[in-house]
Structure 1
Amino acid sequence: MTLRPFHAFSVFTSYSSCPLSQMSAWWWLAVLLVHLVASCASLARQQLSLTNSVRFTRSVRTDVKKLLSRYKEQQLGDKHFEDRSLVLETLPSINTNYDSWLYIQDTERLNVASEGLQTFWTHLESHRKLLNEDTNRGRRSVEDQSLSQSFWNIQIDIRDLVKQVDVQLNRAKLEVGSSESAPCPSCEPSEGQTHRATTKPVQIAETLPSSLWARRLKGYIILRDLDRFLVRLARDLIFLKAKQQNKGV
């Protein structure tokens, strides 16, 4: 058997002799592989983003629970105080029907979460100002000042959480081919600056008598419902993550 030397030209001529349809098939296969790799990378980034959002939501909830316990002890005199009959109509609804929750569109789910967080931010800001007023009047000054700072810290976390939720909302809208952009986070807390909302400002109704005790109960309701809202938000994000994983299977 005679061995023939390898020449690059012979390889080129062999590929040149391939039918056009075969070359086209290879080209489309390459494009498909590139698209598949890009899709997998995008899915991995989104999964990581959702994972981080779930962790952050749980971390914020832990801080809210600690603040709620301290608030009840300092403002209500009983850290075990609990009264589910007390409500504020201006706060987002926490209770949802399971079937409705399961089949809600991703964009609507995230939009409700974003708007709800901004509403809680507004209520936190309002009550923080009341605590500052009490401090200026000399009422429990040290405790109120400490609570006011804790409210402030939660507000900063809520602001960052809104941004994370809006990132997921933008992605969800892109997936459904919507050109509508996500609402810009309207909670930018800064000392001495009032809340600036891109939508109509939330008017906090005085559903309770304007007594000092009623004002303290109001702060309890805000923190209590925020705790429950963050539980639902974490559940929503975990549900969205599971849906993304199923898409990648």
Structure 2
Amino acid sequence: MSSTPLRQFALQGAAVILVLSLAWPYYGWAGGSMPWQQTSLLIGAVALALATITRQAWWWRLIHALFMPLVWLTWTLNIDPGWFLLAFILLLLVYRGALSGQVPLYLSNRETVAALDELIGKEESQRFLDLGAGIGSTLIPLADRWPDRQFTGAENAPLTWLIGRILGVGRPNLHWLWEDLWQMPLGEHDLVYAFLSPVPMPKLWEKARAEMKPGSLFVSNSFPVPGVTPECIVEVACSPPRPLYCYRI
């Protein structure tokens, strides 16, 4: 079963329907009120079972198991609905990529930036592209390190884009774009870097193969392209390990 958000909603919904279709008639005929705490726990257990049967990743199983119990717990706190709206807006501003493409916000650490710095020098890359550039934690120090080379960042979450745009001011070799990574053309760049998630890697690799120039380099932080052997793997000295998987076009 695919792990797209729509299918995950369907799985959780199936667990809710299954449990309520049995619980509501039972308590209705018995004339008792629904024990929502126990019902939410049962829904979580059924959702966990369905996620396990459909071979979802472990984090999806955890989400399915805890989702409905946490909904019940939140309901008991009597929180003003306005706070939920505010939290939703803030999450959308920062984690829009997770909603639209299952790409959460990851920030590259200093060790990774140093490894990319060495790779740029080794490859003599003149045009570097960061897909899902976040707040510029990768691009800004690299643009400072190589003022004679061009660096481009594509980011589609409004708040992180704005932070990166502000932090990157004053660097003429840094181009900061509010752009969806799937709409970003790759052909002008000789090194394309991505720190995304396992989900989009097969599709992104097909995009890279179709658009990038022969001899250019596609680099994925932490998440390899399934079924494709990288030209090399750069081991980054950090914890947790963040290897760079390098694929020659």
Bucket of the pairwise TM-score, normalised by the shorter protein: under 0.3
Give the structure-1-normalised TM-score: 0.22
Q: Which has the higher contact order (CA 8 A, sep 6+)?
A: 1
User: Whose helix fraction is larger, Structure 1's or Structure 2's?
Assistant: 1
